[in-house]
Chain A
Amino acid sequence: MTAILVADDDMDIRDLVAFKLEQAGYDVVAVDNGLAALTEATQNPPDLVVLDVMMPGMSGIDVCRQLRQDAGTKALPIILLTARAQEGDVEVGFGAGADDYIVKPFSPRELVSRVEAVLARMRT
């Protein structure tokens, strides 16, 4: 089963994303901070990571950069989920190595489509 790691400090969003992805047939591991996401991703690399950008301590951008620098996780597909919608923020997200960038408020259905698209791109 395809494994997805979800990291968001907002319990409602974390549970919603996990619920929707599980409903779509994915195996989901959810954590509530950046450091836990980094540890989980390096110890048990998932097939894809969904990261909130603004988390206390270590931001999603920092996690993304660190994952890209690690040989074991540098090819891991990463989707950033964030309330920051300015052009510059999107640039920073992609600059950090994200494969996709979803802005809150978001459509849960669209999130699943984007996850599927990123995974399909990685397989080809």
Chain B
Amino acid sequence: MTLAGAALVALAVLLVVALVFGGLIVGGRAVRRAREARRAKLATPARRLLLAIAAGDDDPEQVEALVRLSDEVWQAVEPNAIALLGKVRGEAHTTLVDVFERRGAAWRARSRLRRRDPVARAQAAEVLGNLGRKDALLPLCDLLGDPDPDVRVVAARSLGRIGDAGATQPLLATLASRRMVPQQVVATALTRLGTAAQGALLASLDDPRAPIRATAAEVLGLIGAVGATVRVESALRADPSLDVRISAARTLGRLGTRTALAPLLDSLEPDRPVALRAEAAKALGELGAVTAASALTVLLSDIEYVVAHNAARSLLRLGGAGRAALTAAEHRAETEPDDERVLLGAAHAREALAAAELDDHRRQLVP
């Protein structure tokens, strides 16, 4: 065969391969579209029923009609049902849970937790979480080590929704695992467990792994665990990890107890890390202790922008005394115009006061 002939054959083969692939893609899309259209057609009448129940109608006939839907129709409407289950609460949620339970959804979801398809595992975890099945605690905790990161996230969220404090340690442990769950997801799930998780969170402040201690300290603030103040104060003073100390400072601001004032003031010292000083300055504003005004005023001329900036904003949060301190710092620039530190403090004070003024104007404009 000549070179030109071989090239022609190669071109023809390529053309056939391209046509086959093109046909497969177009055909696949058409099949998917047809399947979706069939699903939508099947789901339409059932969806109306589902909306009525999700809207809070507890008409037994409607509930019964939804329970008795054929499996094919239920499968078509199930994605909408799962979505609504996670977005409503109150009687609407209770009735939907009843429908799911009577259709055997919990049993089916548990059996799907081990499917090869990660989407099926994630959907199963979501259903169990939305149903609030406490008996799903252990399998969901196992799923926190799933090879698929999205499945792990769904499992963590579902554990938060179930709200059993037994999930505290497994959730925290994922933070130090090779197969980790993002810290924000874990913190949100732990927050949903509420004060029942306080004991396990306090114990986790002694964990050798810093990410676990930092998250435990953070969540103690988010759940308002005032009883943990002393232990969080000691974490702020002595924990070897900067991240833990920063979380502890933030938590002390959130908890708002007066005893937090001393360790937070101590964290402002110039030899402390900048990130810690900045967080402590911010926490003092949250704490709202007027006695912190003088320490915050000193920080206005701090060379580190974030420290001085946070101190200025915290002074604003202290109310009248804080605003007076900012105004005095601003006026000092007129009497000591050659002192760079004074000018720096005045600039930060001016910035905070201007931001407050902007806020006031905006409030006037919004009815």
Contacts and interface: CB of A to CB of B under 8 A. Distances in A.
A107 B87 contact: no
Interface residues of B, number: 21
B365 A68 contact: yes
A62 to B, nearest CB: 14
A95 B361 CA distance: 12
A19 B52 contact: yes
B84 interface: yes
B311 to A, nearest CB: 20
B88 A108 contact: yes
A43 B86 CA distance: 34
Contact of B366 (A13, A68, A104): A68
Interface in A8-52: 10, 12-13, 15-16, 19-20, 23
Interface residues of A, number: 22
Which of B51, B86, B93 is most buried by chain A, counting CB atoms within 10 A of its CB? B51
Contacts of A20: 55-56
Contacts of B93: 105
B367 A12 contact: no
Given A12-B80, A12-B83, A68-B367, A107 B51 contact: no
Interface string B51-92: 110111000000000000000000000001001101111111
A107 B92 contact: yes
Contacts of B84: 12-13, 16
B83 A107 contact: no
Nearest to B222: A86
Contacts of B366: 68, 95-97
A23 B89 contact: no
B146 to A, nearest CB: 24
B87 A13 contact: yes
Interface string A66-110: 001100001100000000000000000001110000001111111
A114 to B, nearest CB: 13
A96 B56 CA distance: 30
User: Which 6 pairs of residues, A with B, have the shortest CB-CB distance?
Assistant: A107-B90, A97-B366, A20-B55, A105-B89, A19-B51, A12-B83
Given A96-B366, A108-B55, 7 more contacts: A12-B80, A12-B84, A19-B51, A19-B55, A97-B367, A107-B92, A110-B90
